[in-house]
Amino acid sequence: MFSRILGTGAYLPQRELGNKELSLMVDTSDEWIVSRTGIYSRHIAAADEATSDLAFHASRQAIDNSRIDPASIDLVIVATTTPDLVFPSTACILQDKLGIHNHGGAFDIQAVCSGFVYALSVADSFIHSGMHRTILVVGAEVMSRIVDWTDRSNCILFGDGAGAMILQASDEEGIIGCHIHADGRYVAQLCVPAGVSRNPDINAKLSMEGSSVFRMAVNTLDEIVDETLAASGMQKSDINWLVPHQANIRIIQATAKKLGMSMDQVIVTVGSHGNTSAASIPMAFHEGVSQGRIKQGDIVLMEAFGGGFTWGSVLLRR
pLDDT in tens, 188-202: 999 999 999 999 888
Q: Do residue 135 and residue 9 come from a single domain?
A: yes
Please tell me whether residues 6 and 145 are part of one structural domain.
yes
Write down the catalytic residue from 19, 43, 65, 113.
113
Q: How far apart are CA 246 and CA 31, in angstroms?
A: 19
pLDDT at 167 over 90: yes
Q: Are residues 159 and 218 in the same domain?
A: no
155 & 271 share domain: no
204 pLDDT above the threshold of 90: no
Residues 274 and 251 in one domain: yes
Residue range 35-56, pLDDT digits in tens: 999 999 999 999 999 999 999 9
Annotated catalytic residue within 19, 65, 154, 275 = 275
- Give the model's pLDDT for residue 157: 97
Sequential DSSP letters for 168-185: EEESS--EEEEEEEE-GG
Are residue 167 and residue 202 in the same domain, yes or no? no
Q: What is the CATH number of the domain that holds 248?
A: 3.40.47.10
With contact defined as beta carbons under 8 Å apart, do 265 and 205 qualify? no
314 pLDDT band (50/70/90 cuts)? very high
Question: pLDDT band at residue 127, thresholds of 50, 70 and 90?
Answer: very high
Mean pLDDT over 297-317 rounds to 97
**Domain end call among 120, 150, 172:** 172
Do 93 and 122 reside in the same domain of the chain?
Answer: yes
113 catalytic residue (yes or no): yes
Q: Are residue 160 and residue 253 in the same domain, yes or no?
A: no
> Which of 146, 172, 198 is at the close of a domain?
172
User: What pLDDT shows up at residue 94?
Assistant: 98
Q: Catalytic pick from 43, 132, 245, 286?
A: 245
Q: What was the pLDDT predicted at 210?
A: 82
| Percent of the residues in the chain that have a pLDDT greater than 90, as a whole number | 94
pLDDT at 203: 82
Q: Which domain holds residue 79?
A: 2-172
Q: Are residues 211 and 149 in the same domain?
A: no
Q: How many folded domains does the chain comprise?
A: 2
Average pLDDT over the chain reads 96
Do both 59 and 85 map to the same domain?
yes
Select from 118, 143, 172 the last residue of a domain: 172
Task: Say yes or no: 231 and 165 in one domain.
Answer: no
Same domain, residue pair 105 and 78: yes
Q: Summarize pLDDT for 255-290 with one digit per residue, the tens.
A: 999 899 999 999 999 999 999 999 999 999 999 999
Asked if the peptide bond before residue 88 counts as cis, ω within 30 degrees of 0, the response is yes
Can you give the pLDDT at residue 253?
95
Q: What number is the average pLDDT over the span 90-117?
A: 97
Looking at the chain, which runs of residues are DSSP E strands?
A: 2-11, 15-18, 41-44, 75-79, 105-109, 134-142, 160-170, 175-182, 190-191, 207-208, 241-244, 299-306, 310-317
User: Has 275 been annotated as catalytic?
Assistant: yes
Whole-angstrom Cα distance, residue 34 to residue 44? 18
Task: Tell me whether residue 179 is one of the annotated catalytic residues.
Answer: no
